[in-house]
Amino acid sequence: MLFNSIDFAVFLPIVFILYWFVINKNLRWQNFLIVVASYLFYGWWDWRFLSLILFSTLVDYTIGVLLDDEENKTKRKLLLWISILVNLGLLGFFKYYNFFLDNFVNAFSFFGYKINAQGLNIVLPVGISFYTFQTLSYTIDVYKKKLQPTKDFIAFAAFVSFFPQLVAGPIERATHLLPQFLKKRIFDYDKAVDGLRQMLWGFFKKIVIADNAAQLANEIFNNSSNYSGSTLFLGALFFTFQIYGDFSGYSDIAIGTSRLFGFDLKKNFNFPYFSRDIAEFWRRWHISLSTWFRDYLYIPLGGSRGGVWMKIRNTFIIFIVSGFWHGANWTFIFWGLLNAIYFLPLLLLNKNRINTNTIAEGRYFPSVKEFIQMSVTFGLTVLAWVFFRAENINHAFNYLSTIFSRSLFTFPNFPKMGDALKTIILIIIFILIEWFGREEEYAIAKIGNGWNRVYRWVWYSFIIFLIMFYMKTTETPFIYFQF
């Protein structure tokens, strides 16, 4: 079920009314309703994949209970590895089987050996990369004794399948979200209103910014051989705002929806395009995934505590694995590699944590230095996104070679230039709103709060009007569903 669908517009109020006005006095029934609603939400795409969520839930719940009763270190480690192998095995089979098979065949073909191997016609289950990592965090934290395992299966099932963030995050830690299912929740009007406001901004990002930018980015990337460097650069810019508006928009809707039901999810995006270096960008982009890899991969590998070569090794591992997590394509791996190259000088010079505050904090405008830093970081990010969006490595390099040619200095020209100009205006408005709201949880968290009621509702009505005006007749899936 898509957030931007009529189905969800009907689904959400029904669940909300049942949750707060019918079974609000019974915590266990509330959790059970969340499980049922979440399975319905997920099964709307393909009910067959519900078995995967249920299986993963059963495995990690059982292992958590067994770990609680087991003190033998060898047996505890065995239980942990069962969870890791089962979860990553499912993820690897559905997401990477054909990738490894194709590359295995190609490698032998390179040396003159022909292997006949038939790939599988496998449909990637929506959100498997997200809920797999969420359940793994539970088992790992129980193993490390950072979390007491729950004996409440319904609460655990609700934690794994919680519908607002099930298919595209944020990837929640069990230490943060699971305890919220175990305590009574009381309706908070102010929190609910704040949730609706954040949902509104998420829909604006998705429908007004991302979907419009997507049409233009697709036109340019799909026909890149026909256009000049300036047009291709414009296409890269459109994709840059498409992926941000789409993914951070989903996170805003997920976090806002969770607030309606009395839950707090972790912030997943913190205005990343206002970053002053790549290290800051990665502290602000897809925060739940970045911190997951930091805590469960980077630090166990030694982090930055070792010598220079260990720092280099761990940096490349974390970024390449992050790229591979996004998809079974060499373009994603190269995207991760490129970001590692961006990040490495900062790490080696111990400058990777010099920009931890908000840019131009307490000021309307950045300094000249901050503006240059922000522009350079944004430019590097735009170039990296070309690999993320390209069909293959050759496409990406051809795309970039055209950008860095004399045609970069021509005026962009392609059939949808009229739509492009309108979208650029919308993006500029979007950037300004994000800039002035960058110190808040989300851009419009405080905008309009102190205004006269009439002006405040004119402001919200204007956002709603733009959403309705640009809403497509056909539902457009969120970009991260494919990951």
Closest by alpha carbon to 296, among 138, 480, 66, 78? Answer: 138
**CA-to-CA distance for 160 and 80, rounded, in angstroms?**
18
Residues in the chain: 483
Q: How far apart are the first and last CA of the chain?
A: 16
- Could you list the beta-strand ranges (E) of 268-308: none
Integer angstrom CA distances of residue 344 from 254, 319, 337, 396: 33, 11, 10, 22
CA atoms within 13 A on the CB side of 408: 10
Coarse DSSP helix, strand, coil percentages of the chain, rounded to the nearest 5 percent: 70, 0, 30
d(CA 394, CA 408): 20
Q: Whole-angstrom Cα distance, residue 158 to residue 46?
A: 19
- Nearest-angstrom CA–CA distance, 346 and 429: 32
Tokens, residue 266: 């972790």
| Residue 278, CA distances (Å) to 115, 165, 353, 365 in order | 42, 26, 10, 21
Reply yes or no on whether 395 is catalytic: no
CB contact burial 352-382 (16+ within 10 A = b; e otherwise): beebeeebbeeeeebeeebeebbeebbebbb
What is the token pair recorded at 442?
A: 């989300």
The residue ranges of DSSP E strands in 155-297, in sequence order, are none
* Active-site annotation, residues: 326
